[in-house]
Amino acid sequence: MDPVAGHIPGAENRFWGDATDGSGRLLSDEALAVHWGELLEAEQLVGYCGSGVSACINLFTLARLGRGDAQLYAGSWSDWCSYLPADD
């Protein structure tokens, strides 16, 4: 369990579950393109989640749309928040 909830400053949230339909199957490429919107044109894409596991679904969908250069921040929020100053 992470000591604090939050998100990395500047990050934009794209919940991995929104890339699937009601039965858990991935959306069509056309629907995924709408899901990602203008982020598909970003110079750099880095995915993260709580621990680096569910972000892989987002990276897979990005690769399907031609953005195989998107990267995973493997430590994700668990790593990021470990560097935050401790609250006294």
Residue 38 maps to a domain = yes
Query: What is the reported pTM?
Result: 0.88
pLDDT in tens, 2-46: 888 888 999 999 999 999 999 999 999 999 999 999 999 999 999
Report the domain count for the chain.
1
Residue 74 maps to a domain = yes
**Is 80 exceeded by the pLDDT of residue 87?**
no
Residue 56 maps to a domain = yes
Residue (of 55, 50, 57) closest to 80 by Cα position: 50
Residue 14 maps to a domain = no
Residue 46 maps to a domain = yes
Residue 40 maps to a domain = yes
Residue 37 maps to a domain = yes
Residue 48 maps to a domain = yes
Domain with 66, as residue range(s), is 19-81
> Which residues are catalytic, by number?
49
* CATH classification of the domain holding 29: 3.40.250.10
